Amino acid sequence: MKNKQIILISVIGIFVIGIFAGTFFLKKEKENTATNTTSSTTQSQETKQEESVAKIETTALENATNVDLSKNATLSITQAGVYNITGKTSEGQITVNLANDTDEVTLVLNNAEIANSTTSPISILNGKNVTIETKTGTTNTITGTGSDTENTATIYSKDDLDFSGDGELVVTSANNNAIQSKNDLTFTSGTYQLTAKNEAIKGKDSVTFDGGVFNLTSESHGVKTTNTEEANKGVITVNGGELNIKASEDGLHATTNVVINKGVVTLDVEDDGIHADGELIVNNGTINVKNSYEGLEASNVQIKGGEIEVNAQDDGINGAGGNDTATTQDHFSNSTGEITISGGKIVIKAGLSGSGDGVDSNGDLTISAGEVKVYDPENARDWSAIDFDGNYTQNESASVTEISSSGTETAITEATAGQGGKGMGGGMGRR
C-alpha cells in the first residue's frame, strides 16, 4: 500500500512539473512569436517608408514627359505638365503655346543642348506659369545665332518666366538678347553663364533675383527693364544671389527703380554701374563697381545700408533727374535729383579721368548716418569730394572723410562740405 502511495505521489509530481514546463515553453513561444511579429511589422513599415520615398522620386519621373532632343529636335508644348528635356540638337526649338495661359509648365533641362540659327531655341508664346529648371549636377547649353526681329532672345517669353534649379545654364546670343521676357522675369536659384550681343537679361515689367550665381557678359546693358508706362513696373530687384556683370553700357539699367535688398553685385562696365531713371534704393548687400563711367546714378538715390565700393571715371554717386537720353556715357536730361545716405559703408574712388565728383547731387544731399570715404584722384582738374546744387545736411552720427592722393584724411562736416574741391564743384547751400 505504501509503495502505491509513493508511485501515486510521483505521478502527480511529474504531472505538475509537466504543466509548469508546458506553460513556460508556451509563454516563451508566444514571446518569440510577438517579437518576431514586432520585428516583421517594423521591417514592413521601414520597407513601406523606403518604397514611399522611392515612389515619390519615381512618380516625379513617371509623370514627366521625357523628350530626347537627339531624336525629336522640335517640341511644341500645348498642355500643362513637367517636361524632362535631354539630348542635343544643332537646329532645334522648344515652343510653349498653351490654350489656357494659366496652366503650369516646367521645363527640366537635364544636360540639354539646343541651338538654332534662325530663331529662339526656347520660345514661350503663351503661358504665364512657365518655369525653366536646371537639374542638379547638369550643364545645359542654349545657343542662338539668328537675328529674329520678333523673338529677340535665345530664351524668349511673351509672358512671365521663372528660373530655378541647382544646375548650370549657359546661354549665348550672337545677335540678340540672351534671356528676355515681355513681362516679369524671376530667378530663384541656379548658376548662369550668359553672353549676349545686346542685353544679357531683359525684362519689360521687372527682373527679380532671389538667388543664384550669375556671370553676365554683354555688349549692351547687363540687366535691363523697359516699362515706363505702368506704375510699379520696370523694376530691377536683387533679394539675394551673386551677380558678376561685364557690360559695354550699364550693369543694371532700370526705366523706373532699382532695389538692392541683399546679395553681392560686382560690376565692370563702360557706362553706369547701376542706373535707375527713378529711385535707386540700397537696403543691404554688397556692391563692388570695379570700373565705370559713373558708379551709381538715379534721380533719387537712397542708401540705407550695405557695403559699397565704387571706382568711376566721372562721378562716384550721382543724383540727377530725368530720362537717360545720351547714346554714349549717359547723363540725365535735366538737373534735378536727390541723394540720401542713412547707413552703410561707402568707399568711393571717382574722378579717375581727372574730373568728376565723389558724391554729386543735382539737388539736395543728406547724410544722416553711415560711413563715407572719398578718395581724391591723383590728377584732379574739375573735382569735388562732395558736390550739391541744393541743400546739404549732415548729422553728427555720420562719418564723411576725404582722403587725398597722398593719403591725408580730412573729416568733412556740414560746415565744410563743398569747400575742398579742386575744381568748379561745390555746394549751393546748407541747412
Q: Decide which of 142 and 336 is more confident.
A: 142
Per DSSP bridges, beta strands 355-361 and 113-116 are unpaired
pLDDT tens digits for 280-326? 999 999 999 999 999 999 999 999 999 999 999 999 999 997 555 44
pTM value is 0.83
CA within 13 Å, CB half, 132? 30
The pLDDT tens digits of the residues spanning 334-370 come to: 558 999 999 999 999 999 998 899 999 999 999 999 9
Q: Would you place residue 418 in the very low, low, confident or very high pLDDT band (cuts 50, 70, 90)?
A: confident
Distance CA 374, CA 401 (A): 6
Residue type, 235: V
- The CA-CA-CA angle for residues 418, 424, 427, to 5°, reads 30
Give 105-134 pLDDT, tens digit per residue: 999 999 999 999 999 999 999 999 999 999
Q: Mean pLDDT over residues 29-58, rounded?
A: 35
What secondary structure does DSSP assign to 123-152, as a single string?
Answer: EEEE-SEEEEEEPTT-EEEEEE----SSS-
Under the banding of pLDDT at 50, 70 and 90, the label for residue 425 is very low
Q: State the DSSP code for 381.
A: S
- Ramachandran bin of 193, using left for φ above 0, alpha for ψ from -120 to 50, beta for the remaining angles: beta
pLDDT at 43 over 90: no
Q: How far, in Å, CA of 293 to CA of 290, rounded?
A: 11
Question: CA 395, CA 405: separation in Å to the nearest integer?
Answer: 26
Q: Answer for the pair 411, 384: CB distance below 8 angstroms, yes or no.
A: no
In this structure, which long-range contacts are made by residues 325-328, counting pairs with CB atoms below 8 Å and at least 24 apart in sequence? 328/271
| Cα–Cα distance measured from residue 341 to residue 397, given in angstroms and rounded to the nearest whole number | 12
What confidence category does residue 40 fall into, taking pLDDT thresholds of 50, 70 and 90? very low
- Give me the residue label for grid cell 505521489: 9
Which among 189, 178, 128, 132 has a CA at the least distance from the CA of 155?
A: 178
Residue 376, classed as helix, strand or coil, is: coil
Q: Which helix (H) or strand (E) holds 358?
A: strand 355-361
Q: Nearest-CA neighbor of 331 among 223, 250, 387? A: 250
**Which of helix, strand or coil describes residue 22?**
helix
Three cell numbers at 202?
531683359
**Nearest-angstrom CA–CA distance, 101 and 380:** 58
What integer best gives the mean pLDDT of the chain?
85
